[in-house]
Copies of this chain bind each other. A is one copy, B any other.
Amino acid sequence: MKASFAKVPTPLELELHQEGRRLTPQRKKVLDLFQRIGGGKHLSAEDIHGKLIQSKSRVSLATVYRTLRLLVKMGFLHELELSEGGHRFELLSQDHPDHHHLVCVNCGRTEEFESDQVVLAGKEAADKQGFKLLESTLNVRGLCPDCI
């Protein structure tokens, strides 16, 4: 007999329970939203709150903020400080651990890219100063083709 009807715990659920925390519908909805829209999207807390409200999900903005901070600390999301007007969050996927951003300073359009050279340069700088590297992100600011 297979246990095919047993609920499969999500990674989020597992990790929460390890720390004595709980998987609430709100937390699930926030992470689900990021997973539905896919990686490479940069959302503000207001964006997330708005989208959840639109999809008939009752979540308060305060809880969105609390959940975002939690998911960042747990490593599911990544916090960006690219633009004016508040921080953005993106899904952190295993496929793109250290990616960088190309931002148009005029229209805000952002593109992502990866570069081993950059990761290596960051690692060398950290080593030289005796730092333990956690992450390195290159922010390239410029004008996109439409804004030149």
Identical chains bound together, number: 2
Task: Give the chain B neighbours of A104 by CB distance below 8 A.
Answer: 131
Interface residues on A, range: 35 or more
- Cβ of A100 and Cβ of B81 under 8 Å apart? no
Contact of A125 with B100 at beta-carbon distance under 8 Å, contacts A120-B117, A131-B143, A148-B132 already known: yes
**Among candidates B81, B111, B118, B129, residue contacting A121 with C-beta atoms closer than 8 Å:** B118
Q: Let me know if A31 is at the binding interface, CB within 8 A.
A: no
For the complex formed, measure the closest distance between the CB of A89 and the CB atoms of chain B, giving whole angstroms: 14
4 additional contacts (CB under 8 A) given A104-B131, A131-B144, A135-B141: A130-B145, A134-B143, A135-B142, A138-B138
Interface residues, chain A, with chain B CB atoms under 8 Å away: 81-82, 100, 102, 104-105, 111, 113, 115, 117-118, 120-122, 124-126, 128-145, 148
